[in-house]
Structure 1
Amino acid sequence: MSPLLHNLVICFDSSGNTILDLAGKLAPQNKLNLVSGPAFQMQQELQWFKEVKQIVPSTFWKRLNLEMKDPYVVFTEEHEKLKVDGEKWMKDTSSSCTIAAALIATIAFAAAITVPGGNNQQSGLPIFSANIGFIIFAISNAASLFTSSTSLLVFLSVLTSRYAEEDFLHTLPRSLILGLLTLFLSITSMIISFSATVYIMYGQKKAWVLLPVATMACLPITSFVLLQFPLLVALISSTYGAGIFRN
């Protein structure tokens, strides 16, 4: 480090605060507004605190200022409200996604029981079991059930999380990323399963039906990408990217 930075690291102000104590203070609102959502803001504050901690001597990590507070206490007190707001945002988002995942899992389970075309009364096997469309239906419906169930469990884990400060750095964003990805896969698989069912029932005799069905099938997938993909990109970028330290 340069001599100037070295002096900055080991010095403290009139209140006995080191730069780690100052990093533990809540950022001004104009800096917080650079990222949207209190959970992202909490994550950014933690990233900044951890980055400053790396250049501060370890003897300063527990050093008390004139108010008899160490940097960790300063950070906790300054970010108490932001932590509560971040917890509320996480729970609201997870609750909404949990409802969607539960509906998809219910639909996929019902579709697996009542297969298109019904079953052969003598053998009990599906009537269209040899049809390529039925194979696509079976695979996509199973994928929809498994991914929606996984998404449901992931979002439930977010709802029941302890919501400690450290959880906002990696644990909670990682769970939200996994939940959104599996939810997107379940929606896509559900649409493919429905399209395969339409093909089985009408594709061979009324081929003109497939075009509007295929067109409309793209609507929910496109809507999810447009509405939720920016959130997913922001989560991945802030958790695994360079974040606020990018060049």
Structure 2
Amino acid sequence: MASAYAESSPLISSDHVKAAVTEFARGFNHSYYLPLHLAILKGDWKSTRAFLDNDPSALTAKVTVNGRTALHVAAVGTQWKIVEKLMKNMPTNILTELDFMGCTCLHYVAMSEKVNDEKKLVAKNTSVTQVTDFKGFTPLIYSLTSTRHRDMVWYLLTNTTDERPGCPFSGPSASQLVALLTASGFHDITMHLLQRYPGLATISDSNGSIILNVLSKLPSHFPSGNTYVPPTIFFYKHAPVELELLPNDPHSGKIISNLLQHFFAHWKSIRDAKLTHLSAVRLTEFVFSQASAMNDYQFYESFVSADIIFNATSSGIVEILSICFQFFPELVWTHIPNEGYLIQIAIKNRQEKVIRLLSEMPIICKLLVLAIDESNNTTSHLAARVCSNNKSTLGAALQVERDSQWLQEVEKLNHPFHKVVKNKNGKTAREVFIEEHKPMVEEGNNWIRDRSNGCMLVATLIATITFAAAITVPGGNNQEKGIPIFLLHKKFTVFIVSDAIAFYCSMASLMNLLPETKGPINEEGIQTELVIRLKLGLYYLLIALVATTIAFAAALSMLLEKRFKFSIVYISSLACLPLHYATSVLYPNLRRIKLLQSIAAFV
């Protein structure tokens, strides 16, 4: 009965399904098919074959109250070996049979990662990819709603056509297909689909463009939404990526890249990330180009909705904004109710990259900066507020200081008169800042002292160890002259220099981290001198830790090189771990300083 429904129409009401299930259940012999059902779920092929040999009709019969055949049961139970064996003897027309959930066997296989079983099903009956469930969804959509396995999606996409009854690329389910495919991050596959069916690029709903709406909520899928430390940046820039899909290999690339991918798992993740980023940018360009070709102002005014602009601005996706302004320059003046103009949204959400993009249009940027909202808030007032989306993981004190620096940079962009402008509550930007940051100030001052005490303990330990290591050097001293035995050894020079650096840096860290109960307090309530001392102490301590690691590696390699010839290679490799961590700690701060400097340079 379910197959008859599928032939007449892909859309079946729930009442019809309930009626069919009730009618079927009245005459269904549950106890007869229960042994077959349990044998399949357990993966017991011997018992399954014995039952089918005794009753060959059970191969095509509905063996559950949900109207599932033996093949359905094996697929739902993820018994892939039984699926393969049943499929060999299964008539081709049974592969398109729907259960009372509206699914074929391929619908369930599409929710797994068994691409080989999927290919065998399609090879036995090529029309199975076109069969839809009661909602009009093909197996392609099912593959996107479950595991989102790339190879599974690619194979189904290339083996599904836009034919009746489902019409997956032009029918009612096309919008859901595009949304799911974009959300899955397979932007290169989406581009392949849009090139075949360009009309899908301009599908929209009440929220505007479906594709742009999804992309604007995925900042990590764009280059601007990711920050890499220097070692990773090198690999990211030099990772070769093929944006054009080949029929049999969606991950096609160069031989060297494939070899690196085989030996270094991290290389593959970097390459996949770069592919996602470049494909997302290319997809965005294609969607905007298709929209601009419509030559209908009312269309693209609703197509690029305020929600899309807001999401891209608040998330800092400058690629979407940059491409948007290339095709529709007037959208830079977009004003969103209760949020303001783009620069106001960027300031509230601490999006330096968006401000830098707007600063490339100097006159427009200056006009937007001078805008005042309905509550008489200037852009400085907006910068003074606490940003809930940009909390620092380094502590409340550093967050307050960072917010203060942000306010100072925005004040440089703003007109000097706006420093004394009061909002509807009668407060200036600085007064707003002090009021909103009060809870963080007390927490910040306590945090500084707690971290200082903890770091002092580590610095004291390093100073003690390095002082003792300088006196009792590796290998000992000459008994007659008291000179170190390894004095002329090259590795000894590395050891003693690193040890000295570690000792002096740990002492410098101690001097900066000495507890100070009092210090000059700025207008926000944070003890500025303590913040500066804590930062210097942390940097000195970081250098001391790295130098201690190098000194230890040099000493160990001197002692072991005669017995273990390649000890220096393994020891040096392990010593690189603290160096990598030090880089990952320092680089984000340096990057943020550069961004703030670029904003200041605009003035």
- TM-score calculated relative to the size of structure 1: 0.69
Say if 1:197 and 1:25 are closer, same or farther in 2 by CA, change over 3 A: closer
Q: Match for residue 195 of structure 1?
A: 553
Does structure 1 retain, via aligned residues, the 8 Å contact 2:512–2:533? yes
- Aligned residue identity for 1:113: I
Deviation at 1:109, TM superposition (A): 0.7
Say if 1:101 and 1:157 are closer, same or farther in 2 by CA, change over 3 A: same
Deviation at 1:70, TM superposition (A): 5.1
SS at match of 2:392: coil
Equivalent residue in structure 1 for 2:389, among 22, 33, 36: 33
Q: Match for residue 590 of structure 2?
A: 236
Q: Match for residue 488 of structure 2?
A: 130
Does structure 1 retain, via aligned residues, the 8 Å contact 2:409–2:599? no
SS at match of 1:32: coil
Bigger mean CA offset, 95-104 vs 17-26: 17-26
Q: Distance in 2 between matches of 1:7 and 1:196?
A: 59
Q: Match for residue 103 of structure 1?
A: 461
String of CA shifts for 1:43-96, please: whole Å, max 9, x gaps.
3432343245342444x6456778776543443222211222333444444443
Does structure 2 retain, via aligned residues, the 8 Å contact 1:24–1:78? no
Q: Distance in 1 between matches of 2:572 and 2:419?
A: 60
- Aligned residue identity for 1:34: N
Bigger mean CA offset, 80-89 vs 139-148: 80-89
Q: Match for residue 470 of structure 2?
A: 112
- Aligned residue identity for 2:454: S
- Aligned residue identity for 1:232: L
SS at match of 2:477: coil
Report the structure, 1 or 2, having the larger helix content: 1
Say if 1:39 and 1:81 are closer, same or farther in 2 by CA, change over 3 A: same
Does structure 2 retain, via aligned residues, the 8 Å contact 1:90–1:158? no
Aligned residues: 235
Q: Distance in 2 between matches of 1:102 and 1:159?
A: 20
**Mapping 1:37-56, distance limit 5 Å:** 37=393, 38-54=396-412, 55-56=414-415
Q: Match for residue 77 of structure 1?
A: 435
Equivalent residue in structure 1 for 2:522, among 155, 159, 164: 164
Equivalent residue in structure 2 for 1:148, among 497, 500, 506: 506
- Aligned residue identity for 2:590: I
Q: Distance in 1 between matches of 2:469 and 2:588?
A: 34
- Aligned residue identity for 1:127: I
Does structure 2 retain, via aligned residues, the 8 Å contact 1:133–1:200? yes
Q: Match for residue 184 of structure 1?
A: 542
- Aligned residue identity for 1:125: I
- Aligned residue identity for 2:561: G
Deviation at 1:173, TM superposition (A): 6.7
Does structure 2 retain, via aligned residues, the 8 Å contact 1:105–1:144? yes
Superposed CA RMSD: 4.2
- Aligned residue identity for 2:388: L
Say if 1:45 and 1:189 are closer, same or farther in 2 by CA, change over 3 A: closer
String of CA shifts for 1:199-243, please: whole Å, max 9, x gaps.
332313442544543444344445xx0xx6544333333344338
Deviation at 1:108, TM superposition (A): 0.7
Deviation at 1:24, TM superposition (A): 7.2
Deviation at 1:26, TM superposition (A): 3.0
Does structure 1 retain, via aligned residues, the 8 Å contact 2:371–2:379? no
Deviation at 1:156, TM superposition (A): 3.8
Q: Match for residue 86 of structure 1?
A: 444
- Aligned residue identity for 2:430: Y
Deviation at 1:111, TM superposition (A): 0.4
Say if 1:163 and 1:43 are closer, same or farther in 2 by CA, change over 3 A: same
Higher RCO (CA-CA < 8 Å; seq separation 6+): 1
- Aligned residue identity for 2:443: D
Q: Percent identity?
A: 30
Unaligned runs of 5+ in 1: none
**Mapping 1:5-20, distance limit 5 Å:** 8=371, 19=378
String of CA shifts for 1:14-49, please: whole Å, max 9, x gaps.
xxx66378347533xxx3322434345423432343
- Aligned residue identity for 2:592: S
Does structure 2 retain, via aligned residues, the 8 Å contact 1:117–1:126? yes
SS at match of 1:142: helix
Equivalent residue in structure 2 for 1:22, among 363, 376, 381: 381
Say if 1:12 and 1:138 are closer, same or farther in 2 by CA, change over 3 A: same
Q: Match for residue 207 of structure 1?
A: 565
- TM-score calculated relative to the size of structure 2: 0.32
Max radius of gyration: which structure? 2
Does structure 1 retain, via aligned residues, the 8 Å contact 2:380–2:411? no
SS at match of 1:242: helix
Say if 1:203 and 1:7 are closer, same or farther in 2 by CA, change over 3 A: closer
Q: Match for residue 208 of structure 2?
A: none
String of CA shifts for 1:119-176, please: whole Å, max 9, x gaps.
22322222222222222221121122122222333344898754535797x9777655
